[in-house]
Amino acid sequence: MPIPLSLKPKYEYDLIRVGSQNDGGYLIEKNSLFQSEFLLSFGISNDWSFEKEFIEKNNVNLQCYDGSIDDLYWLKWKKKAFKKALRFSFKEIYKYFKIKLSFHKFFNTLNFACFYIGKKKGQIGIDDIIKKISHKNIFFKIDIEGSEYEILDELVMYKSRISGIAIEFHECDKNIKLINNFIEKIDMSLVHIHANNYDPVSKMGIPKTIEITLSSNPSIIGKQITLPHKFDMPNKYNKPEIKLEFSDEKNINY
């Protein structure tokens, strides 16, 4: 079962790559970048190249959330790095100090909060966050390992305040109908789609993990769509890109 044709961009849009050349980088539409007044990022891990480059290109305030980056996160990583150093393997300890210093240089109590995004106990939802933001044009970057499905209704509710979204969907073979319904409800232009090659393609022909980019006011530069896009890069650099296949919904049995 291929991907529904409704998840294929209708036109060629003016895209720009923001962030890492591999995993952590996203193709977003230029208007959604430069018309944004605020960046909300859900899911950081140890790569904030997207957030850093976004605000370098458009000097806006940002707020980032990731419940996994707490004191225990750094402590576990430090212990692991020093154990490897005792075996005269210093690569991990160099990486630990480099990323930790970079984290504390870029983030502070004003732009980072150690919370998971979702609707479970102890998590925080979009409604709680967005009520504190006065800006109208907000760009969302979302990579929260499956919890994205819990906040889709809230994104739709605030669609009039969203300039763009870069979102990574997980377990897409099980949730393709939810993704398709969300794209219909959010009423924004789907400007790009890309398969994350860290995960495989299901037996149904749907990549397990897919990155989708939306824009509220995109610039169309052509009618011919080529996927992968010329700015796309494989998330896992030493594996080939996944070629996406699409089919009319009439031919798809959900």
Per-residue pLDDT in tens (0 to 9) along the chain, 254 residues: 589 999 999 999 999 999 999 999 999 999 999 999 999 999 999 999 999 999 999 999 999 999 999 999 999 999 999 999 888 889 999 999 999 999 999 999 999 999 999 999 999 999 999 999 999 999 999 999 999 999 999 999 999 999 999 999 999 999 999 999 999 999 999 999 999 999 999 988 899 999 999 999 999 999 989 999 999 999 999 999 999 999 886 555 55
* C-alpha to C-alpha distance for 129 and 64, rounded to whole angstroms: 11
Q: What is the pTM of this model?
A: 0.94
Class of residue 79 by CB neighbours under 10 A (exposed 0-12, middle 13-18, buried 19+): exposed
Angle at 152 (CA atoms; ends 72, 168), nearest 5 degrees: 60
β-pairing, 189-195 with 15-18? unpaired
Structure tokens at 58: 């458009």
* C-alpha to C-alpha distance for 72 and 163, rounded to whole angstroms: 35
The four Cα atoms 170, 188, 246, 209 give a dihedral, to 10 degrees, of: -10
Q: What share of the chain is helix, strand, coil (3-state, %, to 5)?
A: 35, 25, 45
Q: List the one residue out of 143, 156, 190, 154 whose CA is nearest residue 43.
A: 143
Residue-level pLDDT at 247: 86
- Within 10 A of 249 (CB to CB), how many other CB atoms are there? 12
β-pairing, 38-42 with 210-215? unpaired
* C-alpha to C-alpha distance for 140 and 75, rounded to whole angstroms: 30
- Using the 8-state DSSP alphabet, how is residue 19 labeled? S
